[in-house]
Amino acid sequence: NAGVMQNPRHLVRRRGQEARLRCSPMKGHSHVYWYRQLPEEGLKFMVYLQKENIIDESGMPKERFSAEFPKEGPSILRIQQVVRGDSAAYFCASSVGTRGSEQFFGPGTRLTVL
Protein backbone atom coordinates (compact mmCIF):
# COMPACT_ATOMS: atom_id res chain seq x y z
CA ASN A 1 0.00 0.00 0.00
CA ALA A 2 1.71 3.15 -1.21
CA GLY A 3 -0.88 5.57 0.18
CA VAL A 4 -0.49 8.26 2.81
CA MET A 5 -0.38 6.71 6.25
CA GLN A 6 -1.44 8.36 9.48
CA ASN A 7 -1.30 7.09 13.01
CA PRO A 8 -2.88 6.75 15.34
CA ARG A 9 -6.30 6.65 13.69
CA HIS A 10 -8.00 7.57 16.94
CA LEU A 11 -6.46 9.42 19.86
CA VAL A 12 -8.07 10.30 23.17
CA ARG A 13 -6.42 12.83 25.46
CA ARG A 14 -7.43 14.63 28.63
CA ARG A 15 -7.25 18.38 28.82
CA GLY A 16 -3.68 19.54 29.38
CA GLN A 17 -2.03 16.48 27.84
CA GLU A 18 0.03 16.42 24.66
CA ALA A 19 -1.08 14.91 21.36
CA ARG A 20 1.35 13.68 18.71
CA LEU A 21 0.01 12.87 15.26
CA ARG A 22 2.16 11.13 12.67
CA CYS A 23 2.06 11.18 8.89
CA SER A 24 4.08 9.15 6.41
CA PRO A 25 3.73 10.54 2.87
CA MET A 26 3.31 8.48 -0.26
CA LYS A 27 6.49 7.01 -1.67
CA GLY A 28 8.31 9.61 -3.72
CA HIS A 29 6.45 12.53 -2.13
CA SER A 30 8.53 15.14 -0.33
CA HIS A 31 5.81 17.68 0.50
CA VAL A 32 3.38 17.33 3.39
CA TYR A 33 0.32 19.38 4.27
CA TRP A 34 -1.74 19.23 7.47
CA TYR A 35 -5.44 20.13 7.58
CA ARG A 36 -8.00 20.16 10.38
CA GLN A 37 -11.66 19.28 10.00
CA LEU A 38 -14.05 20.28 12.74
CA PRO A 39 -17.36 18.40 12.99
CA GLU A 40 -19.78 19.32 10.19
CA GLU A 41 -17.22 21.63 8.58
CA GLY A 42 -14.79 21.68 5.70
CA LEU A 43 -11.06 21.24 5.89
CA LYS A 44 -8.90 24.11 7.04
CA PHE A 45 -5.23 24.39 6.12
CA MET A 46 -2.75 24.39 8.99
CA VAL A 47 0.82 23.96 7.73
CA TYR A 48 2.86 22.98 4.67
CA LEU A 49 6.27 21.35 5.05
CA GLN A 50 9.06 19.95 2.98
CA LYS A 51 11.83 17.84 4.42
CA GLU A 52 13.38 19.83 7.29
CA ASN A 53 11.60 23.04 6.22
CA ILE A 54 8.33 24.77 7.07
CA ILE A 55 7.08 26.42 3.87
CA ASP A 56 3.79 27.91 5.04
CA GLU A 57 2.40 27.88 8.58
CA SER A 58 -0.19 30.60 8.08
CA GLY A 59 -3.02 28.35 9.26
CA MET A 60 -1.33 27.13 12.40
CA PRO A 61 -2.50 28.53 15.76
CA LYS A 62 0.26 30.64 17.30
CA GLU A 63 0.39 28.75 20.54
CA ARG A 64 0.50 25.07 21.50
CA PHE A 65 0.76 23.76 17.92
CA SER A 66 3.95 22.80 16.12
CA ALA A 67 4.89 20.66 13.14
CA GLU A 68 8.03 19.09 11.77
CA PHE A 69 9.10 16.92 8.87
CA PRO A 70 12.57 15.59 9.65
CA LYS A 71 15.06 14.25 7.15
CA GLU A 72 14.27 10.75 8.30
CA GLY A 73 10.90 9.55 9.54
CA PRO A 74 7.33 10.79 9.42
CA SER A 75 5.97 14.29 9.73
CA ILE A 76 4.73 15.07 13.24
CA LEU A 77 1.95 17.45 14.27
CA ARG A 78 2.26 18.20 17.96
CA ILE A 79 -0.42 19.78 20.11
CA GLN A 80 0.60 20.75 23.61
CA GLN A 81 -1.80 21.23 26.54
CA VAL A 82 -4.81 20.15 24.53
CA VAL A 83 -8.21 21.76 25.11
CA ARG A 84 -11.67 20.49 24.17
CA GLY A 85 -11.74 22.81 21.16
CA ASP A 86 -8.85 20.82 19.67
CA SER A 87 -11.17 17.84 19.16
CA ALA A 88 -11.30 17.33 15.41
CA ALA A 89 -10.12 15.15 12.57
CA TYR A 90 -6.59 15.96 11.47
CA PHE A 91 -5.67 15.04 7.93
CA CYS A 92 -2.30 14.86 6.29
CA ALA A 93 -1.81 15.14 2.54
CA SER A 94 1.29 14.68 0.43
CA SER A 95 2.39 15.71 -3.04
CA VAL A 96 5.46 15.31 -5.22
CA GLY A 97 6.09 19.04 -5.05
CA THR A 98 7.15 21.21 -7.97
CA ARG A 99 6.48 18.54 -10.56
CA GLY A 100 2.88 18.00 -9.56
CA SER A 101 -0.09 19.59 -7.93
CA GLU A 102 -2.23 16.75 -6.67
CA GLN A 103 -2.49 16.35 -2.94
CA PHE A 104 -3.37 12.87 -1.73
CA PHE A 105 -4.90 12.54 1.70
CA GLY A 106 -4.43 10.02 4.45
CA PRO A 107 -7.28 8.48 6.47
CA GLY A 108 -6.92 11.05 9.25
CA THR A 109 -6.44 11.01 13.01
CA ARG A 110 -9.54 11.66 15.05
CA LEU A 111 -8.57 13.46 18.23
CA THR A 112 -10.96 13.54 21.15
CA VAL A 113 -10.16 15.71 24.15
CA LEU A 114 -12.00 14.76 27.32
Partner 1 sequence: GENVEQHPSTLSVQEGDSAVIKCTYSDSASNYFPWYKQELGKGPQLIIDIRSNVGEKKDQRIAVTLNKTAKHFSLHITETQPEDSAVYFCAASIKAGGTSYGKLTFGQGTILTVHP
- Here's the x/- map for partner 1, 37-56, by CB under 8 A: it reads as ----xxxxx--x------xx
Three-state DSSP at 86 gives helix
Which of 71, 99 has the CB closer to partner 1?
99
CA 8 – CA 109 distance, rounded (Å): 6
Of 66, 73, 89, 86, nearest to 14 (Cα)? Answer: 86
Which of 72, 101 has the CB closer to partner 1?
101
Beta-strand pair 53-56/19-24: unpaired
Binding site for partner 1 (CB under 8 A): 4, 31, 33, 35, 41-45, 48, 55-56, 58-59, 91, 93, 95, 97-98, 101-108
